[in-house]
Chains A and B, each alone.
Chain A
Amino acid sequence: MFRFRLDGSSGVPPYLQLVHQVRQSLLLGYLREGDRLPTVKDVAADLVINPNTVVKAYRQLEHEGLAGGRPGQGTFVTATATPVPPEVNQDLRGSLEAWLRDAGEAGLDDEAVTALIAVARRDLKREREKVR
């Protein structure tokens, strides 16, 4: 049976952490279509969290088409994620490493790099929202 974790210090709301874990586990192949997710009560007791948080996470997963409830049986994974093909992953990693080397040579430390990535990501997101 799949088990959730909770990181109290991450600042990410608990229900989102649960959603992320299912998404990530799908991508990594730890969860497959047809797998049953633990019951709301089991997750609430296991992680010692509010059951409504679990309900909310499961609803979000249903909304995203990743899971579905079967009456009387529980919540099941309904989607297979299409993992990124390994060669694409490799290429992206290569170009990122090259960029990081350039940044290092230009004198940016880790913090500056993280800040720059956050800003670029935010700008891209805004751009995309404007297009819509």
Chain B
Amino acid sequence: MTQDDADGGVPALRTDRLGRRYGRAWALRDCTLELPAGAVAALVGPNGAGKTTLLEMISGLLEPTEGQVSVFGETQRAGPAQLLALVGYVAQDHPLYRDFTVADLFRLGRAMNPGWDQELAAARAEVLGIPVKRKVKSLSGGQQAQVSLTMALAKRAPLLLLDEPLASLDPVARLEFMRDVMATAADANLTCLISSHVVSELERFCDWLIVLAHGRVQLAGSADDLIAAHRLLTVPRATQDAELPGPVIQRTDSDRHSAVLVRTDPLRLALQGHASWQAEPVSFEQLVMAYLQRPATATTQDDPAPAAARPRPSTKAVTR
């Protein structure tokens, strides 16, 4: 597939100061991201953070108010058709034509997508036991989700967007659905962007992390790098934020000590750390939750990290 194109270093996805406004309210603003080819990225954020808006703009379904999207180097200016062909999109509510049979849907997919892989579609339907002669509306929620995924996969698009794909599925169906996504990702060097608010499930699926909140990107990068760039410190309560070796993401004060999640690196911690401090690595879930709980006034990750000890608003996130 397009992995050859990607070898030249062209990212699978790049958004540049992307924004979308509805009336006076910005659903998403200043969104600058890059996703390398082959990554499986988690897009995390509370309801209303702008996840669906971002995915719809990437897929070409929604026009940005400002900024631009490029998928494997193609921008909208090249024509929406080019962009559409590169992106497979499984929308949140699996909007399929409910009165169509599955076979009709496949026929439609074939007519609309030059790269349509009928063999893949038919084989998946058979393996999953989906009766292709039945109407979509008579299928179970899990089967509808699988049909929707099959449509996106058979399109043979190198970038797959999944918007809350697991929301309507029971635990077994979730597992089967993600099993297919993971196996396809291994096979086809697919790049995936998966939105979800079930944070605990994402670590095993994703090696890239994007946290959206308040319509802005709070954190983005390789999951391993981001985890390595944060430490959970236990420090005496009297310790000021400015004394800590990096920006404070979350602080929980007890009577005598404080637990602080700091963005820092081992070298900086060794130089600026105090002997009485305890430093622990942070887990994927802790990291995501801390960024999700940051108040809207907190600064985003675009701050140059070394400039660190900048004054923060005195809003200390108290999580207990």
Contact = CB atoms under 8 A, between A and B. Distances in A.
A44 B204 contact: no
A41 B182 CA distance: 8
B40 A52 contact: yes
Given A11-B283, A52-B38, A45 B204 contact: no
A47 interface: yes
Contact of B185 (A6, A13, A14, A44): A44
B207 A41 contact: no
Nearest to A53: B207
Interface of B: 38-40, 175, 178-180, 182-183, 185-187, 203-207, 224, 227, 283
A100 interface: no
Contacts of A49: 182, 204-205
B186 A8 contact: no
Given A49-B182, A49-B204, A49-B205, 10 more contacts: A14-B203, A14-B204, A45-B183, A45-B186, A47-B204, A48-B178, A48-B179, A50-B204, A51-B186, A52-B40
A40 interface: yes
A41 B187 contact: yes
A52 B208 CA distance: 10
Given A14-B204, A50-B205, A52-B207, A45 B283 contact: no
A80 to B, nearest CB: 29
Contact of B39 (A6, A40, A52): A52
A128 B199 CA distance: 38
A8 B283 CA distance: 12
- Of A8, A44, A47, most buried by chain B (CB within 10 Å of CB) is A44
Q: Which of A48, A50, A53 neighbours the largest number of chain B CB atoms within 10 Å of its CB?
A: A50
Interface of A: 6, 8, 11, 13-14, 40-41, 44-45, 47-54
A82 to B, nearest CB: 31
Contacts of A45: 179-180, 182-183, 186
- Most chain A beta-carbon neighbours within 10 Å: one of B179, B182, B206, B283: B182
B280 to A, nearest CB: 10
B270 to A, nearest CB: 11
Contacts of A54: 186
Contacts of A50: 40, 182, 185, 204-207
A8 B183 contact: no
29 contacts: A6-B204, A8-B204, A13-B224, A13-B227, A40-B186, A41-B187, A44-B183, A44-B186, A45-B179, A45-B182, A45-B183, A45-B186, A48-B175, A48-B179, A48-B182, A48-B204, A49-B182, A50-B204, A50-B207, A51-B40, A51-B182, A51-B185, A51-B186, A52-B38, A52-B40, A52-B207, A53-B204, A53-B207, A54-B186
